[in-house]
Amino acid sequence: MDIKKIVGQSKFAQVGFVVNDIEKTKKQFAILFGCEEPPTCDCGTFDITQTKIYDRPAPDAACVMAFFDMSPGVQLELIQPNEAPSVWRDHLNKYGEGIHHIAFQVENADETSRRLQEELGAEFEQEGNYGDGSGKYVYLQLKDNLKCRLELLQSFN
């Protein structure tokens, strides 16, 4: 199955890295890119994010993030998770620092997630709302088929 047929008119949006020290890492990327360091922000509170890991509420899963705008609509995301169980923490513990996901901006994350699970055998891992409630994300593991994790991003605006 052609991934483009599943993600349709969706746009490539992001490459995400998990890191142990976001301040140190974003400083290095800022030097590489010759730009200012972006601000570090938290992921929001559970009452808004409603984070679920493997379909179970995960009120303690949290992280801090920083975003480098690479080109219009494309970001490099740095994620430093807390110690609570999460896909971010699991990845960091198992594989160490590095690329965590590639992301696509989609119109309907639930429908795209369903199709990826049915047609490509994707495994649902984690989902939640953006910290400001303006959208949602879904992580799907496609390591066997696509050799990576996908993140689906949906804006509610």
DSSP 76-140: EEEEEE-SSS-HHHHHHHHH-SEEEEEEEE-S-HHHHHHHHHHHH--EEEEEEE-TTSSEEEEEE
Express each pLDDT in 56-96 by its tens digit: 999 999 999 999 999 999 999 999 999 999 999 999 999 99
Express each pLDDT in 25-59 by its tens digit: 999 999 999 999 999 999 999 999 999 999 999 99
pLDDT for res 7: 74
34 neighbors 116 (Cβ within 8 angstroms):
no
Q: What is the CATH number of domain 12-155?
A: 3.10.180.10
65 neighbors 43 (Cβ within 8 angstroms):
yes
> Residue 1: is its pLDDT beyond 60?
no
